[in-house]
């Protein structure tokens, strides 16, 4: 849904362009109507613009029926056209679908555009610019978008000229261009706006669905955005409304969460201000207490002075001296005045202290109430946040489930990325989520998406849990293939084999299948295991007494077998451990500069599961192929010499052949080079559309290996787009069961 919306961004169209299109549609409708009356069933040739990229072949032009909008006349013209085509020459690509008019097919034809390999920019300016400059501008924009790995917004349109030709147009960055059969991409002439009409918005099939979406979702008013969404969803309005409604719900929940966070921030600020006021009032009270203490000291000192003055007063008058007053009245009045002032100041200070204490208590009470309210608000926010998170996780789980079902129906290869533990502090990888990993290189970051990303802290149990749904389908009669790919020393063998105390996918898979077979009492299962090694492009049987015996590959139809390969029946877990030990002892390993125990061969473990149901008489045949590929090597880093150099050359050659097979499958090539190496020849039944496939991409986070790590991740991201088709269940019924029925 995201790519469709970005491909037809309505914000790039101006109001002036909208008015011009409305005028153009009216003029084109009148001209087309007159021409249809004159020519009747005139033939229109639609030029589908298909820009060829590295992985997309060019689709040739196909004729379509046009003329008047009468459905019966269009169907008659279509039948006559098909009859004339059947008598003429057969097109080069017979597998291409026949393209008919929108009135007959019920859906408008699609236009395939590969932005990464486009060579021109679409122009919708005044028409006075140099076409060569426009093409150069479009090429520069496309290259920059490809380098930055960003989506290029495109708006697709179909223009019906009054001469009866339907042109495919598309807009990008405000430029409109159309596709000419002889000239390629050509800027759209301004005078054509009065000589035709834009086709898609004049089709009842499209306009009815646009109106339905706009009536259901009144907030959407841009018809081009709705048309882009319909085109992305195969013109299913219910699916468009479902996706848009879900996106709106998620946006509303995010907005509520943001509002609650803002309220919490304001409460924290209010609490901070109250704490500052509390500290200030505490300082005021302390200062007032000090002032009271000082005044008390002054009062005590004044009393001491009065007492001293009273004691100094003579009790007897001198006999010889004239009588004098015993007390100095002036000094006494001054002391009395000071005492009165001191008492008044003491009362005022006491009153001030009492008021300050009352205010302080009130502030503390308000602060306590605010803290309680803030605590309640925090609890309520936490509950709402948990509810929003729960809804988000539920929505994400639902989308992931639907996506997995879609992949299962399409038969896409599931790709899991596992990051090895890093012993150094300099890492070039960041695991941002369970589906995304970021590569850091030369200060830049590149994001890649996979079905699941396992961090260095992921356990063997967690890695195996992601493959259980695929592996267990082997019991039901499906063919399953799991491969481990990556550079040498990235942890492929650890993921597939693992140590004895912490086994990998191989042992856990067989153990899980034994448990499932044991629980199904009505079905009798037989499990047989074989281990094969591809060393220097030769086959070695790891379970045979003489593992160096020469083996060949025999192909009969879609079946690929190895005559003479040893198969051992397993019934218990001890049988599994015994077989694995035997195979590991016979496998070729050696030490290189990159890896002390480097696997010098490809290991293919095949488990055949045959189940016979005694009640229904149905027999299922399933196979589980577990492949531990040898690591790709750079001779400059491993410094391989002699025999190690020969082994490295054979390993890189077979891995290159495997990459060629995936590239051919991705672009739906007619010929897939399975026989370029014995590795791809053996894996042909697993990759030809009859099995479920899963690939582990193992990478090293060490910054010294960033080039190999990025190459491995890009390889895994590329094969994630390979669709093998829906897997086939291999079950047969016995003749006795058919007679009983």
Annotated binding site: which residue ranges? 486-493
Q: Are 438 and 445 in contact (CB under 8 A)?
A: yes
Please choose, from the candidates 251, 206, 255, 223, the residue with its C-alpha nearest in 3D space to the C-alpha of residue 106: 206
- The secondary structure element, H or E, covering residue 221 is none
Q: How many CB atoms lie within 10 A of CB 47?
A: 17
Look-up of token digits 């448990």: 515
Please choose, from the candidates 556, 643, 663, the residue with its C-alpha nearest in 3D space to the C-alpha of residue 601: 643
How far is the C-alpha of 305 from the C-alpha of 327, rounded, in Å? 14
In angstroms, the Cα distances linking 231 to 10, 228, 240, 410, 711 are 14, 5, 10, 19, 34
> Which parts of 411-479 fold into alpha helices (H)?
460-465, 468-472
CA torsion sign for 705, 711, 715, 716 is positive
Cα-Cα-Cα-Cα torsion 518, 521, 526, 531, nearest 10 degrees, comes to -20
Q: Are 43 and 80 in contact (CB under 8 A)?
A: no
Q: Which DSSP state fits 173?
A: T
What is the C-alpha R_g of the chain? 42
**Residue 568, SS3 per DSSP:** strand
Annotated binding-site residue numbers for ATP: 486-493
Which residues are registered as beta bridge partners of 569? 528
* Phi, psi angle pair for 366, to nearest 5°: -60, -40
- The secondary structure element, H or E, covering residue 352 is helix 329-410
Tokens of 581: 């030990």
List b or e across 412-434, with b for residues whose CB sees 16 or more CB atoms inside 10 angstroms: bbbbbbbbbeeeeeeebbebeee
In angstroms, the Cα distances linking 282 to 175, 362, 469 are 70, 13, 67
Task: Give counts: helices (H), strands (E), the chain.
Answer: 20, 24
Which residues of 675-733 form beta strands (DSSP E)?
691-699, 731-733
List b or e across 720-734, with b for residues whose CB sees 16 or more CB atoms inside 10 angstroms: bebebeebeebbeee
Q: Are 676 and 657 in contact (CB under 8 A)?
A: yes
Which residues of 467-567 form beta strands (DSSP E)?
479-486, 523-535, 538-541, 554-556, 559-561
Tokens of 730: 């291999």
Supply the DSSP string of 153-164, one letter for each residue: P-EEEEEEETTS
Cα-Cα-Cα-Cα torsion 9, 14, 18, 24, nearest 10 degrees, comes to -100
């Amino acid at each position: 849904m995201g790519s469709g919306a970005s491909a037809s961004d309505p914000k790039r169209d101006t109001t002036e362009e909208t008015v011009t299109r409305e005028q153009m549609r009216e003029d084109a409708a009148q001209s087309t109507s007159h021409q249809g009356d004159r020519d009747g069933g005139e033939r229109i040739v639609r030029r589908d613009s298909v820009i060829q990229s590295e992985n997309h072949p060019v689709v040739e032009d196909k004729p379509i029926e046009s003329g008047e909008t009468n459905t019966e006349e269009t169907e008659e013209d279509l039948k006559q056209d098909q009859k004339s085509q059947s008598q003429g020459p057969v097109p080069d690509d017979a597998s291409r679908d026949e393209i008919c008019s929108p009135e007959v097919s019920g859906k408008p034809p699609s236009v395939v555009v590969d932005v990464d390999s486009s060579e021109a920019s679409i122009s919708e300016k005044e028409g006075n610019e140099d076409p060569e400059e426009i093409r150069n501008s479009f090429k520069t924009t496309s290259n920059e978008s490809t380098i930055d790995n960003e989506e290029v917004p495109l708006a697709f349109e179909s223009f019906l000229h009054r001469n009866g030709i339907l042109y495919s147009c598309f807009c990008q960055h405000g430029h409109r261009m159309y596709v000419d059969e002889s000239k390629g991409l050509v800027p759209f002439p301004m005078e054509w706006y009065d000589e035709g009409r834009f086709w898609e918005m004049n089709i009842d099939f499209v306009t009815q669905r646009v109106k339905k979406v706009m009536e259901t979702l009144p907030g959407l008013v841009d018809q081009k955005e709705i048309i882009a969404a319909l085109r992305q969803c195969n013109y299913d309005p219910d699916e468009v409304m479902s996706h848009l409604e879900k996106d709106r719900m998620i946006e509303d929940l995010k907005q509520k969460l943001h509002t609650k966070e803002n309220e919490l921030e304001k409460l924290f600020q209010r609490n901070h201000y109250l704490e500052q006021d509390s500290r200030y009032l505490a300082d005021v009270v302390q200062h007032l207490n000090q002032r009271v203490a000082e005044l008390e000291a002054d009062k005590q000192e004044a009393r001491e002075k009065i007492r001293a003055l009273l004691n100094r007063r003579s009790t007897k008058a001198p006999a010889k001296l004239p009588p004098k007053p015993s007390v100095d009245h002036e000094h006494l009045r001054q002391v009395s005045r000071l005492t009165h002032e001191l008492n008044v100041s003491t009362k005022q200070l006491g009153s001030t202290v009492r008021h300050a204490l009352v205010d302080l208590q009130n502030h503390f009470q308000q602060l306590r109430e605010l803290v309680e309210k803030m605590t309640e608000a925090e609890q309520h926010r936490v509950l709402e946040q948990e509810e929003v998170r729960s809804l988000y996780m539920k929505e994400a789980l639902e989308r992931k489930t639907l996506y997995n079902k879609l992949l299962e129906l399409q038969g896409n290869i599931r790709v899991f990325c596992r990051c090895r533990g890093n012993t150094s502090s300099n890492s070039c990888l960041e695991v941002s989520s369970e589906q995304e990993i970021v590569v850091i290189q030369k200060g830049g970051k590149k994001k890649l998406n996979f079905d699941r990303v396992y961090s260095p802290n992921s356990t063997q149990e967690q890695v195996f849990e992601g493959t259980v749904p695929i592996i267990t389908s082997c019991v039901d009669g499906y063919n399953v293939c799991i491969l481990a790919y990556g550079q040498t020393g990235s942890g492929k063998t650890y993921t597939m084999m693992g140590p004895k105390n912490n086994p990998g996918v191989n042992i856990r898979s067989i153990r899980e299948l034994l448990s499932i077979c044991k629980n199904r009492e009505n079905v009798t299962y037989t499990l047989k295991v074989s281990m094969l090694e591809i060393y220097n492009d030769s086959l070695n049987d790891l379970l045979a007494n003489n593992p160096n015996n020469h083996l060949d590959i025999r192909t009969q139809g879609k079946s690929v077998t190895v005559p003479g390969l040893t198969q051992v029946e397993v019934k218990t877990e001890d049988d599994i451990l015994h077989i694995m030990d035997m195979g590991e002892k016979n496998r070729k390993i050696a030490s290189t500069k990159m890896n002390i125990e480097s696997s010098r061969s490809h290991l293919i473990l095949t488990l055949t599961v045959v189940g016979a149901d005694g009640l229904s008489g149905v027999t299922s045949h399933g196979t589980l192929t577990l492949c531990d590929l040898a690591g790709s090597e750079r001779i400059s880093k491993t410094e391989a010499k002699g025999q190690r150099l020969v082994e490295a050359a054979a390993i890189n050659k077979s891995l290159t052949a495997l990459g060629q097979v995936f590239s051919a499958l991705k672009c739906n090539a007619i010929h897939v080079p399975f026989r370029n190496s014995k590795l791809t020849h053996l894996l042909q039944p697993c990759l030809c559309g009859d099995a479920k496939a899963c690939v582990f991409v193992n990478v090293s986070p060490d910054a010294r290996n960033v080039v190999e790590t990025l190459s491995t991740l890009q390889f895994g991201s590329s094969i994630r787009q390979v669709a093998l088709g829906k897997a086939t269940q291999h079950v047969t019924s016995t003749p006795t069961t058919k007679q009983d029925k």
